[in-house]
Structure 1
């Protein structure tokens, strides 16, 4: 199993809109083979990023998602926030789960 952590830096005045975007998401990832779960983590300190954390059965399953039509459709909606909503580039991290 792997986790994918997408650290997204959002300006404070856009926090509510960013969270709403995930509450209203298309949910296309939910039916992908190998997808386990999706969590959106809100920062508790100023300046820290949101973390969109997904769990996958394998790296191959995650990579299949990123090259799928469902991925393109789901992320086409991401243009709903203006560029100034983000205070920096996002950082994508992949980790293998070694203990639970």
Structure 2
């Protein structure tokens, strides 16, 4: 499948959002059983920080990369949003 190429591309850009305001972390989750989709998990200090990146910097960064870039590894992606439940 496309997994190894996807991992290679994410590894090449693993620090691309490190300096974004409110960015706290990134994980690429590889499927091991029952699923063939990878999941990208990012953590942000606030919903506002995430929205600012999603609506502004992310599309601009992806557009800038299109020139001379290899073909997409995947055919689509769903954006799932979650918040951490405080069990305290």
Using structure 2 for the length normalisation, give the TM-score.
Answer: 0.76
Which structure's residues are more often strand, by fraction? Answer: 1
Structural mapping, 1:1-100, within 5 Å? 12=1, 14-25=2-13, 27-45=15-33, 47-69=35-57, 71=58, 72-73=60-61, 75-76=62-63, 77=65, 80-82=70-72, 85-86=73-74, 89-99=76-86
Structure holding more helix per residue: 1
Query: What root-mean-square deviation, in Å, do the aligned CA atoms of Structure 1 and Structure 2 show?
Result: 2.3
* Alignment gaps of 5+ in structure 1: 1-11
Give the paired residue count.
Answer: 83
Q: Unaligned 5+ residue runs, structure 2?
A: none
Structure with the larger RCO, 1 or 2 (CA within 8 Å, 6+ apart) = 1
After TM superposition, the runs of 4+ consecutive aligned structure 1 residues lying more than 4 A away are: none
